[in-house]
Amino acid sequence: MDTSRYAELFRTESREQLSAVNRALLAIEQGDESREPVDAIFRGVHTVKGMSATMGYTAVAEFSHELESLLEKVRDGEQTISAELMDALFAAADALEEGVESAREGAVMGEAMRRALERLHDVAGGRSTAEFRIPRASGAVPLPLPAPPALEGEGTLVHVEQEGTTMLAGVRAFMAIQRLRELGEVLASEPTVERLQAATTPQAFSVRIKTTAGPAELERAVRSAGDVATVRIEERAAPAAPAARASSPVVIEGRTPPARASTPVIIEGRTPDEGDDVPVHPLRRASDRVAISEALGPAERGAAPRARHVRIELSRLDALLNLVGELVIVRGRLQAIARGIADAALDEAMAEATRLIGDLQAEIMTSRLVPVGQVFDRFPRLVRDVARQLGKDVLFSIEGKDIEIDRSVLDEIGEPVVHLLRNAVDHGLESPDVREAAGKARAGRLILAAYRDRSAVVIAVRDDGKGIDRGKVLARALTLGLVPPGTERLDDDALLRCIAHPGFSTAEQVTDVSGRGVGVDAVISRVRALGGSVEMTSTPGQGTEVTLRLPVTLAIVRALLARVGNERYALPLTHVRETLERGPALVRPVQGREMVRLDGAGAVREEEIVVIERGERRAGLVVDELTGQEDIVVKSFDGARDGLALFSGATILSDGAPALIVDVGSLL
């Protein structure tokens, strides 16, 4: 079986499992003494082991097996949890992640995984006792297996014997059953699916299936799972109907059961009453119900219909979005042409096409939305590692993980948030002793929050640390010439501009965490490139909050079109508060600046004013003419070198003319 085409899917699935492993490790370290975190780690590592073995990534499978064996000792109470063990487990999770990313068939275990295993063995006192079986070389003699068990009942019986040195026999057996499910209705298996999945030695098992497939097709399906020695197919006829009881039968789950059996079973979550007539399947005991349910489809086990999901490469969604963007442009041009032709049939067709294109646009945009938690889930581990490196206690929490944002935006915000979190732990939060001396809790609070604000997504990083030392920043800014000589105070805006200057840093020494002056600068550059904005507030002794305001999507936005001279510009409607007609009575000087009365009193038409806002800030843009509203497709825009960041992109209007998109964040 060629597994190379599944390599990226393997990595995607493994990343999800490793993310769950890291969350569970953090829960244990933070004091969760329940069994669930250990079980979650065990499940995640076990899944990675099975997938890597199936793919032929022996090094990853072997490492996972050793880690799983240690976790089994922890789960059984044979290994106590200590700080040293937690550090070793975190290192093992990192090594496993590295191994997954670099996995390839036939590769040997890397240095990081070997060091992590040595550390685990030192802490746990030696290697695991369970042997990880490596596939035998050609010509090796297989181990003897017991004869496959028989199953009673109607259907086709498939008896399977695995190779004597099968690697991860349980995974291979489960795969064989899954292959059979694709050909028909799997009625039962012996041993149970749960026992087969847990098996560490080669197995002989039987599966009863209702199918129209022939023996050759069934055998091919089983052998495609790999490491199969023999396959034997046997047809079973339907058994004779049992004699009916004299008493009236009881109808259970919509059918009339046959004669009563003596063994009790679970029906819809309960033990049957004395008067119930219940058919007893030889494998459907209460203890096996869950296990068999895993192998059966929804129709067989009476569950709800299975969810229909497919994984789609992001590049394909990008291509769809580009195509619908071009459709939006063409729609605008067609609308402009149709307005000049008085034809009722054309107007009706144009209205229908406009509706359909709008629906298509909405569906594609929605399909690209993903929860921010997909990126946020990796940050608790980051904060934990930085805090331990700096000797600080940090209570980190995440709010609003379910807030959805376009996948392309989500991929871009990871790095800015990493910078903000590292800066908060390093510069914002004090050491435990300093906090205690100041009357604070020894552990600092750090919050990463996401929420919607109209059509924007806001991401905030808040800490309860000492706040930014404005005097220290001002002194450094004066030295670098970032503020006019004689400046005595920095407000929040000026403070942000100073610390965002490339190379600006107040750190006395460069460390692995900070000191190179690239953090806030990198944040603002990336957020501005996304068409967003950055705000910051800081209170001495109370903490700092940095807010990123981002568009939900980068692709298609509603914009107000304005003309200045012979040029046309697009203003995203999310930042437009209102429009006014400029007149002498409307504008008046205040402290040397022209200010606008928003009630519009006394306006005499001369020019148009567009009132834009971002958060609590507002400003007025004077334009010659407002030409309408339009859905615009955002295209990337490379501004002039060393020029002002006044534009976030460009677009093509419905008449085919280009227009620049104003970056409101750079004006406020």
The secondary structure of 510-552, three-state, reads: CCCCCCCCCHHHHHHHHHHHCCCEEEEEEECCCEEEEEEEEEC
Q: Look at residue 308 in the predicted model and tell me its pLDDT.
A: 52
Provide the pLDDT confidence category of residue 643 given band limits of 50, 70 and 90.
low
Provide the pLDDT confidence category of residue 641 given band limits of 50, 70 and 90.
low
Give just the sign of the alpha carbon dihedral 392, 393, 395, 396. positive
pLDDT at 386 over 50: yes
Which comes out higher in pLDDT, residue 133 or 124? Answer: 124
Which comes out higher in pLDDT, residue 303 or 376? Answer: 376
Average pLDDT of the residues in 184-203: 81
Q: Look at residue 583 in the predicted model and tell me its pLDDT.
A: 60
pLDDT at 130 over 50: no
- Do the Cβ atoms of 330 and 648 come closer than 8 Å? no
- Whether pTM > 0.85 for this model: the answer is no
pLDDT tens by residue, 407-448: 888 888 888 899 899 989 998 999 999 999 999 999 999 999
What does the block give as tokens for 39? 């079980």
Give just the sign of the alpha carbon dihedral 515, 521, 527, 533. positive
Average pLDDT of the residues in 292-312: 45
pLDDT at 263 over 60: no
Which of 123-132, 259-268, 496-505 has the lowest average pLDDT? 259-268
Nearest residue to 205 (alpha-carbon basis) of 238, 180, 236, 177: 177
What does the block give as tokens for 620? 């007025």
Nearest residue to 25 (alpha-carbon basis) of 523, 345, 384: 384
Mean pLDDT over the full length of the chain: 77
Provide the pLDDT confidence category of residue 299 given band limits of 50, 70 and 90.
very low
pLDDT at 505 over 60: yes
Which comes out higher in pLDDT, residue 106 or 212? Answer: 212
Report how far residue 508's alpha carbon sits from residue 469's, in angstroms, rounded to the nearest whole number.
Answer: 14
Report how far residue 206's alpha carbon sits from residue 291's, in angstroms, rounded to the nearest whole number.
Answer: 15
Q: Look at residue 182 in the predicted model and tell me its pLDDT.
A: 86
pLDDT at 520 over 60: yes
Q: Look at residue 582 in the predicted model and tell me its pLDDT.
A: 65
pLDDT at 615 over 70: no
Q: Could you give the percent of the chain with pLDDT greater than 70?
A: 74
- DSSP codes joined into one string, 405-454: EEHHHHHHHHHHHHHHHHHIIIIISPPHHHHHHTTS-SSEEEEEEEEEET
Which of 55-64, 119-128, 381-390 has the lowest average pLDDT? 119-128
Report how far residue 82's alpha carbon sits from residue 25's, in angstroms, rounded to the nearest whole number.
Answer: 12
Q: Which residues pair with 661 in a beta bridge?
A: 570, 649
Q: Look at residue 4 in the predicted model and tell me its pLDDT.
A: 67
Residue reference for tokens 């020019």: 607
pLDDT at 27 over 70: yes
Q: Look at residue 628 in the predicted model and tell me its pLDDT.
A: 86
Report how far residue 3's alpha carbon sits from residue 105's, in angstroms, rounded to the nearest whole number.
Answer: 9
Q: Look at residue 234 in the predicted model and tell me its pLDDT.
A: 87
Average pLDDT of the residues in 556-562: 86
Q: Look at residue 256 in the predicted model and tell me its pLDDT.
A: 40
Q: Look at residue 645 in the predicted model and tell me its pLDDT.
A: 67
Which comes out higher in pLDDT, residue 502 or 182? Answer: 182
Q: Which residues pair with 158 in a beta bridge?
A: 207, 233
**Domains located in the chain, CATH noted:** 4-124 (1.20.120.160), 134-238+264-301 (3.30.70.1110), 314-368 (1.10.287), 371-551 (3.30.565.10), 556-666 (2.30.30.40)
Average pLDDT of the residues in 149-167: 77
Q: Look at residue 284 in the predicted model and tell me its pLDDT.
A: 33
pLDDT at 275 over 50: no
Which of 303-307, 352-356, 574-578, 635-639 has the lowest average pLDDT? 303-307
pLDDT at 249 over 80: no
Q: Look at residue 366 in the predicted model and tell me its pLDDT.
A: 85
Range from 147-161, 498-512, 632-646 that averages highest in pLDDT: 147-161
pLDDT tens by residue, 453-495: 877 889 999 999 999 888 888 888 888 888 888 888 888 888 8
